[in-house]
């Protein structure tokens, strides 16, 4: 069956139809890799994957990343990160904490604290809550194109410090996480604020609100001002595709060109997601827009 690539209404997402088994044949693999290079977000429905086939599917695109935070790794498949939330103990029907929202994550781009950020994410649901638990995605090339021309000129040639830890006060950004020494010892990395995507040539606004710390050469105050304006501009819902998860979905995003977030869900529900991560193959500083 020939693969179909169907733009999803009012979004930058592309639905892929015609994949019904893994491993991919050579022709399908080539078409998918080409679509991945051209698009920020691919959505595949009704593709039943095991942990093994999930890993194998990702390897058709390149090498995989083992996440630096060990507690996120699947205990039997380190190539998979397992995002799992559920109450430690079953909640009573009248427990007021049951409606609290958990597992919310703000807008971010994965692993930008790495000198070579991961190229892609491959996310599928294992257990879906009956409400919410959605994931939203934005195309950062589309965001850049929508910026005023004056702002675009301001951003050209700028670089930004990214770090897993917020060391501005000498403490980890999330004090509830006991980061291992290897993570605490990670050096800050510098990426372009805008780069020309090596696969499709599109200029991309490369910010990860969770890990972006400061524009190089700016005071912290001036950096916070400009980055805050960019984050506020990007957060406009017109750029966002919200994925409502169904069983056997697989969502694939270009991590160099995408910003995403998790909406969270009520504590009384269990949610389990599995993600593989495609390794980056080049330094984005080589593609800095001068």
Q: How confident is the model at residue 144 (pLDDT cuts 50, 70, 90)?
A: very high
Rounded CA separation 283/126 (Å): 33
- CATH code for 4-287? 3.60.130.10
Residue-wise pLDDT for 101-116, tens only, equals 988 998 999 989 889 9
Q: How confident is the model at residue 235 (pLDDT cuts 50, 70, 90)?
A: confident
- Contact assessment for residue 220 and residue 227, using Cβ atoms and an 8 Å cutoff: no
The residue among 237, 251, 277, 240 whose CA lies nearest residue 111 is 277
Place of tokens 């050209």: 156
Sign of CA dihedral 231, 237, 238, 240: positive
Residue-wise pLDDT for 3-23, tens only, equals 999 999 999 999 999 997 788
Could you give the angle at the alpha carbon of 169 between the alpha carbons of 168 and 174, nearest 5°? 90
Residue-wise pLDDT for 183-197, tens only, equals 554 678 999 999 999
pLDDT at site 183: 58
Residue-wise pLDDT for 77-104, tens only, equals 999 999 998 777 778 878 888 899 988 9
The residue among 41, 54, 7, 3 whose CA lies nearest residue 25 is 3
3-state secondary structure the chain: CCCEEEECCCCCCEEEECCCCCCCCHHHHHHHHHHHHHCCEEEECCCCCCHHHHHHHHHCCCCECCCCCHHHECCCCCCEEEEEECCCCCCCCCCHHHHCEECCEEEECCCCCCCCCCCEEEEEEEECCCCCCCEEEEEHHHHHHHCCHHHHHHHCCCEEEECCCCHHHCCCCCCCCCCCHHHHCCCCEEEECEEECCCCCCEEECCCCCCEEEECCCCHHHHHHHHHHHHHHHCCHHHEEEECCCCCCEEEEECCCEEEEECCEECCCCEEEEEEEECCCCCHHHHECC
Rounded CA separation 99/265 (Å): 8
Q: What are phi and psi of 233, to 5 degrees?
A: -65, -45
Cis-peptide into 174, omega within 30 deg: no
Q: What six digits make up the tokens of 124?
A: 């599928």
Place of tokens 């039943």: 48
Q: How confident is the model at residue 178 (pLDDT cuts 50, 70, 90)?
A: low
């Amino acid at each position: 069956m020939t693969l179909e690539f169907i733009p999803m209404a009012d979004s930058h997402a592309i639905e892929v139809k015609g994949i019904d088994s893994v491993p991919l044949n050579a022709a399908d693999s080539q078409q998918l890799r080409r679509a991945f290079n051209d698009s920020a977000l691919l959505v595949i429905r009704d593709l039943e994957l095991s942990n093994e086939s999930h890993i194998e599917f990702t390897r058709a695109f390149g090498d995989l990343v083992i996440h630096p935070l060990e507690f996120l790794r699947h205990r039997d498949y380190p190539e998979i990160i397992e995002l799992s939330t559920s109450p430690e103990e079953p909640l009573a029907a009248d427990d007021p904490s049951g409606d609290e929202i958990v597992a919310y994550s703000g807008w971010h781009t994965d692993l930008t604290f790495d000198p070579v950020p991961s190229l892609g994410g491959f996310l599928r649901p294992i257990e879906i809550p009956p409400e919410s638990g959605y994931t939203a995605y934005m195309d950062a090339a589309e965001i850049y194109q929508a910026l005023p021309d004056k702002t675009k000129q301001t951003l050209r040639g700028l670089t930004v410090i990214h770090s897993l830890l917020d060391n501005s006060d000498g403490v980890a950004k999330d004090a509830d996480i006991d980061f291992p020494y290897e993570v605490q010892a990670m050096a800050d990395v510098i990426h372009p604020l805008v780069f020309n995507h090596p696969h499709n040539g599109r200029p991309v606004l490369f910010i990860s609100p969770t890990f972006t710390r400061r524009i190089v050469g700016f005071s912290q105050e001036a950096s916070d001002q400009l980055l805050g304006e960019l984050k506020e501009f990007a957060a406009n819902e017109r750029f966002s595709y919200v994925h409502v998860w169904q069983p056997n979905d697989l969502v694939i995003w270009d991590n160099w060109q995408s910003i995403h977030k998790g909406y969270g869900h009520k504590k009384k529900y269990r949610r389990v997601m599995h993600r593989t991560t495609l390794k980056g193959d080049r330094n984005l500083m080589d593609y800095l827009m001068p």
